[in-house]
């Protein structure tokens, strides 16, 4: 070992023969040389391995330590062959997987488990959202029922107000008609009038019989009463019309609000489909299917490559 690895200073070696698989523990200190500043010899695994001819690291999963471990396995494998010992790598080969394939499969398994954990977390959030949405939908149904009842009451009030307006309008028309003196009455009054000569250029005067005078006074008093009633009913009619317009605006607003709630509930009709999508069993099946497809694709690529004899490896 020391001859093969001059930059790994061995300071302890322990052989365990009392376990299921006999094995050797080697403790060493990696050193490197050629530093231009400070100490010329220092403790460095990567530089020490490179001095021993090990290829530099390419990436996190392809570094000097991995290259050196593979070189050691290859050496031990050849040594065992020379001694007639068959080797088997435990914990690396599974079924027909090569080492890289097995590592890739393990990474995919870990990724799938992480993905499933995320899905489960998202599922819990979605279930909470669905519960809240269901509660909101139920609340909206209750609001719709209340507002439809309110709409019904408002429509009844509008109908009552319109009926009252029609009644007031009829009263107004009756008053206006009653205020008009008949043609016969006018002729009768004119026939009873006796002109009286005016004195000193004053306004002309007329003389009427007492009965005609009393009739005119009564007519004037009635006209005054009717005029006041006319203005009162006209004001009430205008007030009712304003109230009707306000009620109609409220009806329009409530109808729009009810439609919004209805649209919301129809949109949330997808809740059941969403619940089915969030079924954890289906999510797991989807992950398994995706992983199986990736393994199948990798197997097809492997079969397309020229077949070569695999070497047994050792730990």
Q: Look up residue 251 and give its two tokens.
A: 């009806």
Residue 107 lies in a domain: no
Domain around 245 = 140-195+206-212+219-288
Weakest mean pLDDT among 27-41, 95-109, 229-243: 95-109
Q: Is position 305 within any domain?
A: no
Chain-centroid distance of CA 199 in Å reads 98
The verdict on 146 and 26 lying in the same domain is no
- Whether 260 and 157 share a structural domain: yes
**Same domain, yes or no, for 58 and 152?**
no
- What does the pLDDT average to over 106-125? 77
| Three-state SS letters, 253-276 | HHHHHHHHHHHHHHHHHHHHHHHH
In a domain, 312, yes or no: no
Q: Identify the domain boundary among 62, 87, 112.
A: 87
How many domains does the chain contain in total? 2
Does 249 map to a domain?
A: yes
In a shared domain, residues 179 and 246? yes
The verdict on 78 and 154 lying in the same domain is no
> If DSSP codes are grouped into helix, strand and coil, which group holds residue 26?
strand
Write b or e for each residue in 277-298: b if 16 or more Cβ atoms lie within 10 A of its Cβ, otherwise e.
ebeeeebeeebeeebeeeeeeb
Residues 144 and 284 in one domain: yes
- Indicate the residue among 24, 56, 87 that finishes a domain: 87
The pTM assigned to this predicted structure is: 0.32
Answer whether residue 40 is part of any domain. Answer: yes
Residue 175 sits in the same domain as residue 69: no
Residues 158 and 280 in one domain: yes
pLDDT of 8 reads 94
Predicted confidence band of residue 137 (pLDDT cuts 50, 70, 90): low
User: What is the per-residue pLDDT for 82?
Assistant: 93
Tokens of 46: 């990567």
- Mean of pLDDT over the chain: 73
Whether residue 101 is contained in a domain is answered as no
| 165 plus 265 within the same structural domain | yes
Residues 149 and 269 in one domain: yes
Residue 116 lies in a domain: no
The predicted structure's pLDDT at residue 145: 72
In terms of domains, do 83 and 160 share one?
no
Segment 150-179 shows an average pLDDT of: 73
Predicted local distance difference test score (pLDDT) of residue 27: 92
Are 62 and 151 in the same domain?
no
Chosen domain end from 42, 61, 87: 87
Q: How far apart are CA 76 and CA 204, in angstroms?
A: 150
pLDDT reading at 93 higher than 60: no
pLDDT tens sequence across 220-279 = 676 667 677 777 777 777 787 787 777 777 777 777 776 776 666 566 555 554 555 445
Q: Answer yes or no: is 236 within a domain.
A: yes
Locate all alpha helices (DSSP H) within the chain, ordered by sequence: 45-51, 64-82, 99-179, 183-192, 210-267, 271-277, 280-304
């Amino acid at each position: 070992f020391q001859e093969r690895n001059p930059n790994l200073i061995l300071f302890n070696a322990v052989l365990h023969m009392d376990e299921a698989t006999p094995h050797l523990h080697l403790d060493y200190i990696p050193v490197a040389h050629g530093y231009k500043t400070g100490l010329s010899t220092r403790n460095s695994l990567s530089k020490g391995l490179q001095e021993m001819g090990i290829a530099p690291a390419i990436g996190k999963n392809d570094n000097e330590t991995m290259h050196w471990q593979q070189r050691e396995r290859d050496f031990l494998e050849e040594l065992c062959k020379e001694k007639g010992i068959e080797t088997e790598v435990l914990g690396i080969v599974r079924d027909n997987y090569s080492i890289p394939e097995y590592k890739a499969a393990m990474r995919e398994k870990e990724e799938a488990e992480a993905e499933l954990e995320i899905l489960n977390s998202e599922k819990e959030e979605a279930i909470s959202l669905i519960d809240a949405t269901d509660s909101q939908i139920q609340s909206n149904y209750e609001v719709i029922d209340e507002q439809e009842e309110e709409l019904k009451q408002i429509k009844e009030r509008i109908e009552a107000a319109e009926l009252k307006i029609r009644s007031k309008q009829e009263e107004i028309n009756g008053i206006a008609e009653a205020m008009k003196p008949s043609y016969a009455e006018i002729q009768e009054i004119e026939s009873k009038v006796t002109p009286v000569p005016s004195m000193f250029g004053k306004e002309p005067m007329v003389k009427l019989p007492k009965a005609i005078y009393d009739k005119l006074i009564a007519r004037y008093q009635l006209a005054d009463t009717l005029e006041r009633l006319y203005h009162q009913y006209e004001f009430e009619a205008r007030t009712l019309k304003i109230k009707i317009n306000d009620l109609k605006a409220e009806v329009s607003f409530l109808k729009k609000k009810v439609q919004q709630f209805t649209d919301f509930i129809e949109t949330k009709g997808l809740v059941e489909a969403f619940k089915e999508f969030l079924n954890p069993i289906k999510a797991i099946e989807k992950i398994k299917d995706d992983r199986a497809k990736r393994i199948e694709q990798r197997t097809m690529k492997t079969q397309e490559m020229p077949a070569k004899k695999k070497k047994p490896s050792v730990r």
